Amino acid sequence: MSRYFLVRHGVTQWNAQGRIQGQSDPSLNRTGQRQARRLGERLASVPFAGARCSDLRRCSETAAGILLGRNDVRLQEMPELREKNFGAWEGLTFGEVEARYPDPYRNWMTAGDPSFAPPGGESDLQLYSRAHTVVERLRQTLTGSGGNLLVVTHGGMLRALIACLLGLPAQKMWKFRFANAGLSVASVFDDGSAVVDLLNDTSHLGEGLEE
Residue-averaged pLDDT of the chain: 93
pLDDT above 90 for 168: yes
pLDDT above 90 for 107: no
Residues in CB range of 52: below 8 A, 6 or more apart? 75, 76, 77, 78, 81, 138, 141, 149, 150, 151, 152
Band the pLDDT of 143: cuts 50, 70, 90.
low
**What amino acid occupies position 101?**
Y
Percentage of the chain beyond pLDDT 90 is: 84
Active-site amino acid positions: 9, 83
Band the pLDDT of 113: cuts 50, 70, 90.
confident
Q: Is the dihedral of CA 185, 40, 28, 49 positive or negative?
A: negative
- Which domains are assigned to the chain? 2-201 (3.40.50.1240)
Band the pLDDT of 145: cuts 50, 70, 90.
low
pLDDT at site 65: 97
pLDDT at site 38: 96
What angle is formed at CA 122 by the lines to CA 132 and CA 160, rounded to 5 degrees?
35
pTM: predicted TM-score of the whole model, two decimal places: 0.95
pLDDT above 70 for 96: yes
Burial 20-31 (b: 16+ CB within 10 A, else e): bbbbbebebbeb
